[in-house]
Amino acid sequence: MPLKLFCCDECIPERQNHVYVKEEGEDTTQFLPLSNIETIPGSLSERGCSYCGAKLVIGGVIKDCIQMIHGPVGCAYDTWHTKRYPSDNDNFQLKYIWSSDTKEKHIIFGAEKQLKKAIKEAFKEFPEIKRMFVYTTCTTALIGDNPKAVCREIEEELGDVDIFVVECPGFAGVSQSKGHHELNIGWMRDKVGTLEPEITSKYTINVIGDYNIQGDTYVLQKYLDKMGIQVIAHFTGNVTYDQLRCMHRAKLNVVNCARSAGYIANELKRVYDIPRMDVDTWGFEYVKVALRKIGAFFGLEDKAEEVISEEVAKYEGKLAWYKERLKGKQICIWTGGPRLWHWTKALEDDLGMEVVAMSSKFGHQEDFEKVIARGRVGTIYIDDGNELEFFEVLESIHTDLILTGPRVGDLVKKLHIPYINGHAYHNGPYMGFEGAVNMARDMYNAIYSPMWSLAGKDPRVVDSPMWSLAGKDPSVVQEL
């Protein structure tokens, strides 16, 4: 089938190159949707900006840093409290956000003095914190501020602090993916190799592309501890600034989210010759494969099997219970990039569900190659989808559930379609064996919630199911 043009896109026909419906025997290289290019004017994109990709996705997760946003206060607020990445230091990184709070006068006369003042104030207010990330934003990049020079002055003046500058304003790329890339490459260039770790095991790894969403990191760490493997750094879940400086001492880079963090794995391979191993840590069967691959690399196959046996014994029966009730349910996955291809086969193979539509905000060509290869015939694939396209998809297919973010999720709830937060989860963690069960439980609860039978019912109608749910006598209620 050729690439598809939605009716809502007739005024912007270029969108046809971004939508594909898979058919049997088609050459996916011929019909691969265009991706990672500028949003077409007139399309209401769901993408985030490049600064957001750097701060919200990667940098803001680090647990012992001041996160200084050099720009208007709105840029700081918009990337605060929107992700659920806890830490074991009382969630310091979730509690606070810092901004240089640039105003119109700073845009006219320069904001470097304002940045210096804000940095010194932040370190004074939090004397126990000695590490900082500084991010440029659109306004401060456009006026030509030099935050690196400012930060060098601060480091020399204070002596015991270390500051990393991320120069990735919102307009730097077509989506948040540019922010991922800039932070990866910048950290590798400026910070990796500047500190030596304490080595406690001859088996050392970096876990790359894991952001401890609702405790994902804790799950993976538990498996690796049981196998006797030392994690030098998680990039960047529940990690410290200094642990990330030591990434050059790992013997293996295990990559989960390849889109947001594959860049630093490639650089570690190029500079330090550390092998890269890509794994899937969402999905019951995928986790088994991941642990076996890691075990085989270090000659720890027996340890890997011990962990797998222990976890399967605890969770296989629970997953089977949900599979019986979720089998055949149809779902849409409208998320960022790699979760499309991480989740599609896991949900279909582990739970017997059917993925009928997918949309990626910032996926690249290789992401679509993977997800289309793993996906079913008849599935709709969309790059940089907009709300009108989503509504049109929902008119053409049946879906029981949508995995997406809260913004689109709030829209589909108005159509009485349940959704699960595909960005920050509902009740995670979702990685690992227990995570697969948690995700199945959340999907089951969403689909089978009795509230959906009441959605759209008028409570003023006395024979409405709402009355029986409340245990009321309609005649009595009518009199009242």
Question: Closest Cα partner for 147 from 74, 77, 79, 70?
Answer: 70
Q: What is the pLDDT of residue 466?
A: 52
Is the pLDDT confidence value at 471 over 90?
no
Q: What is the pLDDT of residue 149?
A: 98
* Average predicted confidence (pLDDT) for the chain: 93
Contact 4, 20 (CB under 8 A): yes
pLDDT per position as a tens digit, 292-318: 999 999 999 999 999 999 999 999 999
Please tell me the distance from the alpha carbon of residue 438 to that of residue 463, in angstroms, as a whole number. 37
Calculated CA dihedral for residues 291, 294, 299, 301, nearest 10 degrees: 10
User: What pairs with residue 204 in β-bridges?
Assistant: 230
3-class SS at 386?
strand
54 burial via Cβ count (<10 Å: 0-12, 13-18, 19+): buried
Query: How many C-beta atoms lie closer than 10 Å to residue 465's C-beta?
Result: 13
pLDDT band at 122 (very low <50, low <70, confident <90, very high): very high
Beta strands 380-383 and 19-21: pairing type? antiparallel
Domains of the chain, start order:
50-190 (3.40.50.1980), 204-309 (3.40.50.1980)
Q: Which amino acid is at 479?
A: E
Q: What is the pLDDT of residue 1?
A: 55
3-class SS at 99?
strand
**Mean pLDDT, residues 174-195 taken together:** 97
pLDDT per position as a tens digit, 331-374: 999 998 888 889 998 999 999 999 999 999 999 999 999 999 88
Taking the CA atoms of 180, 181, 183 and 187 in sequence, report the sign of the dihedral they define: positive
Beta strands 354-360 and 98-99: pairing type? unpaired
pLDDT band at 2 (very low <50, low <70, confident <90, very high): confident
Please tell me the distance from the alpha carbon of residue 409 to that of residue 424, in angstroms, as a whole number. 12
Contact 276, 258 (CB under 8 A): no
Is the pLDDT confidence value at 119 over 60?
yes
Distance of CA 413 to the CA centre of its chain: 22
Q: Which amino acid is at 248?
A: H
Please tell me the distance from the alpha carbon of residue 348 to that of residue 376, in angstroms, as a whole number. 9
What's the token pair of residue 480? 């009242």
Contact 280, 256 (CB under 8 A): yes
User: What pairs with residue 276 in β-bridges?
Assistant: 253
Q: What is the pLDDT of residue 232?
A: 98
Please tell me the distance from the alpha carbon of residue 236 to that of residue 59, in angstroms, as a whole number. 7
Please tell me the distance from the alpha carbon of residue 182 to that of residue 51, in angstroms, as a whole number. 9
Q: What is the percent of the chain with per-residue pLDDT over 90, rounded to a whole number?
A: 85
Please tell me the distance from the alpha carbon of residue 107 to that of residue 139, in angstroms, as a whole number. 7
